[in-house]
Amino acid sequence: MKRILPVLMILLVVVLVAAATVGSGRLIRATSPQGAVEQLFAHVRARDYKGAYSYVAAASNVDLPAFTRDLAGKDGSLRTYSALAEISTRVLNESPNEANVRANLEWATAVGPFYDTRDLKVVKEGSDWRVLWPLEKAPNLPPQVIPVNYLRWDIVRHGGEDDWGAQNVEAPRVRIISMNAIEKDGATVILGEIVNEDTVPGFVSVNATLLGQNGSTLGEESSFDKISHVLLPKEVSPFRIDFPGIRLAAVKNVRMQPSSLLVPASADPVMGVLHQRLEQVRGHNVLAGELMNESGETVNIPHVLATFYDDGGRVIWVSDAYLDRALLPQVPLPFAVPLRDDVAPKVHSYRVTVNQYSMDRPL
């Protein structure tokens, strides 16, 4: 009896490991268009790109490395820090040999969920269905040297041996140039813009405190990532501060606290935001356009912030979107920032700014 129990345990472990190994690599035949798409993304979720590739139609003209890069990301982009969390598919139309399937994907990323919708063409190959993978052909920039000679600000701070009273370098002067308080979905939202009025860069944040009757504090929040934190001289950034669960009617006063720190920064890279336009995508309003990195350095995670104004020039909404692809030098990258459908009719103009997170540069 003493020996039987360990032997049984070892056998059980071997069986479980074998079952798990066989199960993860097992390819299930795709007998329907929806099944092909679901199986493909199920393997992507398990990071089994080779398995997922087996559901790609030969006519796609895409090899495994390119397919893997397309789904797993590259160049330190946001996609490389994400995992496919949820998949839902819907057949848009189907014929005996061809079908269109919409895949709604939810990626879990370092900055929150990232939603992606792909309309995929599925074709019948023999008795199985395969996905025609639409690989986007990104233009390749020819090898070249791009001279970058933008300035950089470094800081020498107060030394311990300095005499008493020797002044330190001061934080940059920042100013809130507009502010608006609105209510959306039962939450109070504080919107506005802040400018760095100084001649040095600053790390900026905006805190707001909502005060109710008798001056009591209803809530205190910061702009978090709905702001460009690093502002170069004369740069303007929008900000948005959400107070979930606090009705605007209960707010009697708002106390704004902009703050700034002097930080080392670089004037590079310069990013153009081209062909911005409001349009409808699948029934929803978006502000679309292309980003153009005019410098020579890859921006790993671009973050687009859009400010929307009414006909009186008042900020009525601030929206943002992270892009899951890296912004390569001189290669345009499309973006789409969602716009609330109830705000869209009031939008008279808008302004887009871009945050950049680059691996090789802390700020």
Partner 1 sequence: MRRLVQALLIAAVCLFAAYAARAAELSAPERVSAGTGATLHTRGSGEATLWIIGPASVEKKQVRLGEDVNLQPQSLRIAGRYLAIVRQGAATDSAWFEVLPAAPANVNFLARPSRVPVDRRDVISGVAFVLDAYRNLVLEATPVRFSLSVPDAPAVTRIESSKLGIAWVRLDSTRKQGAAQFIASAGDAEVRRVVQETASDPCNLRMRATSAGNHIVVETDPVRDCSGNPVPDGTIVTFTQVDAKGRSTVDARVKKGIARAVLPSSDNATISVASGVVLGNEIHLGGGQ
Report the interface residues with partner 1, using CB under 8 A: 149-151, 153, 163-170, 177, 195-201, 232-236, 267, 270-277, 289, 294, 350-353
Q: Is 260 exposed, middle or buried (0-12, 13-18, 19+ CB in 10 A)?
A: buried
């003209």: which residue's tokens?
61
Minimum CB–partner distance for residue 355 and partner 1 (Å): 12
Comparing CB distances to partner 1, the nearer of 71 and 265 is 265
Minimum CB–partner distance for residue 74 and partner 1 (Å): 26
Minimum CB–partner distance for residue 268 and partner 1 (Å): 8
Comparing CB distances to partner 1, the nearer of 212 and 233 is 233
Rounded distance between C-alpha atoms, residue 12 and residue 6, angstroms: 10
Minimum CB–partner distance for residue 257 and partner 1 (Å): 20
Minimum CB–partner distance for residue 233 and partner 1 (Å): 4
- Under a CB-based contact definition with an 8 Å cutoff, are residues 131 and 119 in contact? no
Q: Which amino acid is at 353?
A: T
Rounded distance between C-alpha atoms, residue 100 and residue 95, angstroms: 9
Q: What is the DSSP string of 151-184?
A: -EE---PPPTTSPTTPPPPPPPPEEEEEEEEEEE
How many Cβ atoms are within 10 Å of 148's Cβ, its own excluded? 14
Minimum CB–partner distance for residue 290 and partner 1 (Å): 9
Strands 301-309 and 284-293: unpaired
Comparing CB distances to partner 1, the nearer of 29 and 234 is 234
Comparing CB distances to partner 1, the nearer of 57 and 315 is 315
Comparing CB distances to partner 1, the nearer of 72 and 267 is 267
Comparing CB distances to partner 1, the nearer of 91 and 256 is 256
Rounded distance between C-alpha atoms, residue 309 and residue 316, angstroms: 5
Torsion of CA 162, 166, 171, 176, to 10 degrees: 170
Task: Find all residues with CB under 8 Å of 312, minimum gap 6, and list them.
Answer: none
How many Cβ atoms are within 10 Å of 248's Cβ, its own excluded? 15
Minimum CB–partner distance for residue 164 and partner 1 (Å): 6
Q: What are phi and psi of 6, to 5 degrees?
A: -60, -40
Comparing CB distances to partner 1, the nearer of 124 and 173 is 173
